[in-house]
Amino acid sequence: MSTNADLASLFEQAADLLALLGENSFKVLAHRKVARVLEDLPQDVASLISSLDDLPGVGESSAEKIKEYLRTGSVGEFTALRQQVPAGVVQMLAIPSLGVKTAAQLWHEAGITDIATLKQKLDDGSLLTLKGMGEKKIAKIKANLAFVGKEADRVRVDIAMAIAQSYCALLEQPLKQGGAATQVQYCGSLRRGRETIGDLDILVCGDAAAAGQIAERLRGHSLTGQIVAAGDTKITLRTRADLQVDVRIVPAESWGAALQYFTGSKEHNVKLRERAVRQGLKLNEWGLFRGDKPIAGLLEQDIYQSLGLAAPPPEVREDHGELEQAESLFKANASWQLVTMADIQGDLHMHTTASDGSQSIDDIVAEAKRRGLKYIAITDHSKSQFQARGLTVPRLIEHVNAIRAVARKAKDILVLAGSEVDILADGSLDYEDDVLAQLDWVVASPHAALAQDSDKATIRLVRAASHPLVHVLGHPTGRLVGTRRGLEPDMPQVISAARRSGIAIEINANAHRLDLRDVHVRLALEAGVPICINTDAHSFDDFDQLPFGVLTARRGWAKASDVLNARSVADFKSWLDSRRGAAHW
DNA sequence: GCCGTTTTCGGCCCGACTGTTTTCAGTCG
């Protein structure tokens, strides 16, 4: 899979180089598009070698380059491009407010080919003679130099969500003049539920006259570092932790259009606007227009309906075929029906003080009931997880008995005695079959040897997924968002194995994991493998991670019927009964 | 470079903000 990422980065780099060389901007864009397609690809690009042309956005020329890379490990044309542009010029693009035009100008007109020289010339005033280069621009570039090298990483969705909610709450408070904002909503990749967020977009319904007051209020928020720009309809700020927040002020009649526009994705919007143009209409953040006449704009769904589409939920707006689906749904007079928080009936992966959790069996059952769950599985770690106090077989038997004792007296909730059994490096499980057979529920997860190569990882996970006593594959790759790559198996093979043995695959809802990831969720569902959205709760707070798992499921187009723990207790039990390895209750 | 319900050629989404300008270019999303 890292082949995909490496190739994507090559195409992205090529796009920068072409732009710096003054190439046609649509050609530049085409390269960025290929980079994005490769990044989003759920399977290894090498497995598609004979059908690369079928990927939307990948034409004959790019397909050849991809093949060349797979054959030789490099792309001759890209290598040649790199030789034409000094590396330091490319590095300058990392400076905010300094784009390709300026970088090319500095290179050609001032002979600047590295950042050190740029710094020096910014200071000595010699750049003022360049066209379009004034005091303010120079000051801005100087200030932004600080961002080079410590490029703000994308922020995990849970962190971004907390920040967004804090700013939204602030903006919802009444203003001194002009009344309260009637509506406030975060948009962008956060609303689409991506696992990481690059910046925050917040939409405020209100009068442009209030922009000044809103800016002042934002300035006073404890998280705000500096206000970067402040106009009548847009205020941009950076938090102290360097996350960019864009706040837009829109009038009520444009609320829906703005919501649609700022939710994106960019690629989804491009497709949508092209569709509007084909129908003789124009779509922008102010509304959908025929000539000057507004057709829709108040509500987001009106925009889509006016274009003959069933409004797709924000989570699927990635230009991954959702407009085609939206069109068929519209024609069938149907709507999108993705799984929601309210559908979730059970949680089938949780820990107690028996291993590394901080809650007792009684506490966890009470908390699950309080949150309206109808069934849970208690799944502490297996014996190899020494550091997590994994259970030896005697301790496991004792623990299972304790769980069953609680289960017998628990009312209105089904409590299963299970285990999160380690998938060892070779794909065998951490307990013998006769031990596993005594459990109601088995989550099989990898925890160690997460750096093994792709082939070994595939064999390992296929073996575990084929084990007759396993019910669900837990956090299949072991990746940690932004910090650990985890296993990179050939996911279609793992999914096929799960389908053959009739097991489910987990979406671990914890925002650190979100494993299975969105694109693989979709592959699993297309193969007919049910998913299971589990919190892997180690404490009461971890129950709050569930929404991130649901968002990820929705990004994979999951309906409630695709989700095992969205079934009623009775339906869940009959699924369990249909599995080999009789359950005990 | 990519693509096709006008098209295999000729388009390719659209606007806000800033800074530099006397009407627009660059950057960003």
Whether A103 and A9 map to the same domain: the answer is yes
Cβ atoms of residues A519 and A491 within 8 Å? no
User: pLDDT digits over A41-58, tens only?
Assistant: 888 888 888 888 888 889
DSSP class of residue A298?
S
Q: In degrees, to the nearest 5, what angle opens at C-alpha A31 toward C-alphas A557 and A200?
A: 50
Over residues A86-95, mean pLDDT = 89
Is A418 part of a structural domain of the chain?
yes
Domain termination site, one of A215, A232, A250: A250
Provide the CA A277 to C1' B6 distance, Å, integer. 12
pLDDT single digits (tens) A156-201: 999 999 999 999 998 888 765 555 567 899 999 999 999 999 889 9
Residue A384 placed within a domain: yes
pLDDT top residue among A18 and A209: A18
In a domain, A75, yes or no: yes
One-character DSSP codes across A373-395? -SEEEEEEEBTT-GGGTPBPHHH
- Within this chain, do residues A265 and A312 fall inside the same structural domain, yes or no? yes
Residue A578 · residue A468 · CB < 8 Å: no
pLDDT at A150 over 80: no
SS3 for A56-78 is CCCCHHHHHHHHHHHHHCCCHHH
pLDDT digits over A292-312, tens only? 788 888 899 999 999 999 999
Spacing of A235 CA from B17 C1' in Å = 9
Q: The tokens 């068929």 sit on which residue? A: A328
Residues A514 and A536 grouped into a single domain: yes
> Do residues A327 and A224 share a domain?
no
- Does the pLDDT at position A20 exceed 50? yes
Cβ neighbour number for residue A80 with a 10 Å cutoff? 10
Side chain identity, residue A353: T
Report yes or no: A505 and A493 within 8 Å, Cβ to Cβ.
Answer: no
**Interatomic CA distance for residues A199 and A298, integer angstroms:** 25
Last residue within a domain, chosen from A305, A331, A357: A331
Residue of A129, A154, A306, A363 whose CA lies nearest to A241: A154
Question: Which residues 82-121 of chain A have a CB under 7 Å from nucleic chain B?
Answer: 96-103
CA of A398 to C1' of B9 (A): 76
CB A344 within 8 A of CB A566: yes
CB A223 within 8 A of CB A214: no
Same domain assignment for residues A185 and A114? no
Instruction: Write the CB contacts of A534 (distance below 8 Å, at least 6 apart in sequence).
Output: A347, A348, A349, A350, A443, A472, A474, A506, A507, A508, A509, A549, A565
Angle CA A524–A528–A532, to nearest 5 = 60
Note the strand B nucleotides within 7 A of protein beta carbons: 1-3, 5-6, 11-21, 25-29
pLDDT computed for residue A581 by the predictor: 47
Would you place residue A139 in the very low, low, confident or very high pLDDT band (cuts 50, 70, 90)?
confident
Residue A152 has a pLDDT of 61
Residues A270 and A389 in one domain: no
Asked whether the predicted pLDDT for residue A367 surpasses 50, the reply is yes
Mean pLDDT of chain A: 90
Whether A164 maps to a domain, the answer reads: yes
Q: Same domain, yes or no, for A240 and A178?
A: yes
Taking residues A493-517, what's their average pLDDT?
A: 96
User: Does residue A584 belong to any structural domain of this protein?
Assistant: no
Residue A539 phi, psi dihedral angles, 5° rounding: -155, 170
- pLDDT per position as a tens digit, A539-562: 999 999 999 999 999 999 999 999
- Residue A318 falls inside a structural domain: yes
Write out pLDDT tens, residues A302-339.
999 999 999 999 999 998 889 999 999 999 999 999 99
What average pLDDT score do residues A78-91 get?
91
pLDDT at A582: 40
Q: Measured between alpha carbons, how far is A525 from A558 in angstroms, rounded to an integer?
A: 7
Find the Å distance, CA of residue A32 to C1' of nucleotide B9: 23
Q: Which residues of A472-487 are buried (b: 16+ CB within 10 A; e: fewer)?
A: bbbbbbbbbbeeeebb
The pairing of strands A287-290 and A293-296 is antiparallel
> Are residues A56 and A180 located together in one domain of the fold?
no
A133: Cβ under 7 Å from strand B?
yes
- In a shared domain, residues A461 and A571: yes
User: Is A506 within 8 Å of A476 (Cβ atoms)?
Assistant: yes
- Encode pLDDT of A226-265 as tens digits: 888 888 888 999 898 888 899 999 888 899 999 999 998 9
Phi-psi region of A319 (alpha: psi -120 to 50; beta: other; left: phi over 0): left
Q: What CATH number did the domain enclosing A40 receive?
A: 1.10.150.110
Token digits of residue A181: 């904002």
Q: Domain with A350 in it: what CATH number?
A: 3.20.20.140
A289: domain CATH number is 3.30.210.10
Nucleotide nearest A262, CA–C1', reads B29
Proximity of residue A29 CB to strand B below 7 A = yes
What is the number of structural domains in chain A?
4
Distance, CA of A5 to C1' of B15, in Å: 32
Residues A388 and A295 in one domain: no
Same domain membership, residue A184 and residue A159: yes
Model confidence at A583, in pLDDT bands (50, 70, 90)?
very low
Count Cβ atoms below 10 Å from residue A86 Cβ, excluding itself.
Answer: 15
- Considering the domain boundaries, does residue A529 fall inside one? yes
Residue at which a domain ends, from A103, A121, A147: A147
Distance between CA atoms of A329 and A583, rounded to whole angstroms?
A: 40
Q: What residues make up the domain containing A84?
A: 2-147
- Closest residue, CA to C1' of B21: A132
Q: Does residue A475 lie within any of the structural domains?
A: yes
Same-domain check for residues A298 and A365: no
User: Got the DSSP string for A92-140?
Assistant: HTTSTT--HHHHHHHHHHH---SHHHHHHHHHHTGGGGSTT--HHHHHH
